A and B are shown apart, each in its own frame.
Chain A
Amino acid sequence: MPKKESYDKVTGAGHYTGDAVEARIHHARMKISPYAHARILGIDATAARTAPGVRAILTGDDCGVLTGEEIRDRPIIAKDRVRHYGEVVAVAVADTEVQAKQAADLIKVRYDPLPVVLSPTDALRSDAPVLHERLGEYEKGEGVVSVPGTNVASVIHVRLGDMSQGWEQSETVVENAVAFKPSDHAAMETRSAIAEIKPDGRVHIVSSTQAPFAVKQYLGKYFGVDVGFVTVEAPLVGGAYGGKAAIQPELIAFLASRAIGGRPVKVLYTREEDMVTAPGHIGLEATVRLGSTKEGKIKAAHLIYRFDGGAYDDKSSDIARAAAGDCSGPYAIEHMHGECLTIYTNHPYPSAFRGYGHAELTFAVERAIDALAEELQMDPWALRMKNIVVPGDIAPTRDLLTPSNLGDLPACMERMKRLAEWDDWNLVQVDDHRVRAKGISCFWKNSSIDPNASSGAIVSFNPDGSLNLETGVVEIGTGTKTVLAQILAERMRMRTERIHVRFTVDTGISPEHWKTVASRGTFMAGRAVLHAADDAIRQLLSIAACVLRADPDDLELDCEKVFVRADPSVQIDVKEICYGYSFPNGNTIGGQIIGRGTYTQRRMNPMNPETGEGTPGPEWNVGAQAVEVELDTRDCSYRILKAVSVNDAGRVMNRMGALGQIKGAIAMGLSFANRETFLFDAEGRIQNPTLRDYSVFRYGENPAYVVDFVERPCLDGPYGARALGEHGLIGMPAALASALSRAAGVRLNRLPLFPERIWRARMGYADDTVSV
Chain B
Amino acid sequence: MKAEHVVQLELHVNGERRTAVARPADLLLDVLRESFGLTGAKPGCRNGDCGACTVLVDDRPMKSCLMLAVESAGQAVTTIEGLQDEAAQRAFVEQFAFQCGYCTPGFIMNIVALSRLEPQADEGTIQDWMQSNICRCTSYEEIGKAIHVVLGKR
Contacts and interface: CB of A to CB of B under 8 A. Distances in A.
Nearest to B23: A98
Nearest to B102: A238
A11 B41 CA distance: 10
Contacts of B118: none
Interface in A345-400: none
Contacts of A19: 33, 39
Given A11-B81, A477-B101, A188 B52 contact: yes
A712 interface: no
Interface in B20-49: 23, 33-34, 37-47, 49
Given A271-B46, A691-B134, A187 B100 contact: yes
Contacts of B33: 19, 21
Contact of A699 (B37, B47, B80, B143): B143
B141 to A, nearest CB: 6
Contact of B47 (A6, A16, A102, A692): A692
A478 B134 contact: no
A270 B65 CA distance: 13
Interface in A660-679: 660, 663-664, 666-668
A237 interface: yes
A584 interface: no
Secondary structure dominating the interface of A: loop
A188 B39 contact: no
Interface stretch (B56-64, B67-75, B90-98): B90-98
Nearest to B104: A9
Contacts of A11: 40, 80-81, 83, 89
A238 B99 CA distance: 9
A129 interface: no
A12 B131 contact: no
Interface residues of B, number: 56
B135 A188 contact: yes
B137 interface: yes
B102 A239 contact: yes
A3 interface: yes
Contacts of B94: 2
Given A2-B93, A10-B89, A667-B139, A660 B99 contact: yes
A249 to B, nearest CB: 15
B108 A10 contact: yes
B89 A660 contact: no
A9 B34 CA distance: 20
B47 A12 contact: no
Nearest to A691: B49
Contact of B44 (A10, A102, A188, A657): A188
Interface in A673-711: 690-692, 696-702, 705
A190 B44 contact: yes
B2 interface: yes
Nearest to A240: B100
13 contacts: A10-B80, A21-B37, A98-B23, A238-B100, A656-B96, A660-B139, A663-B138, A691-B45, A696-B134, A698-B131, A699-B126, A700-B131, A700-B144
Interface of B: 1-4, 23, 33-34, 37-47, 49-50, 52, 79-81, 83, 89, 92-94, 96, 98-105, 108, 123, 126-127, 130-131, 133-144
Interface of A: 2-3, 5-16, 18-19, 21, 50-52, 98, 102, 186-190, 236-241, 268, 270-271, 476-479, 656-657, 659-660, 663-664, 666-668, 690-692, 696-702, 705
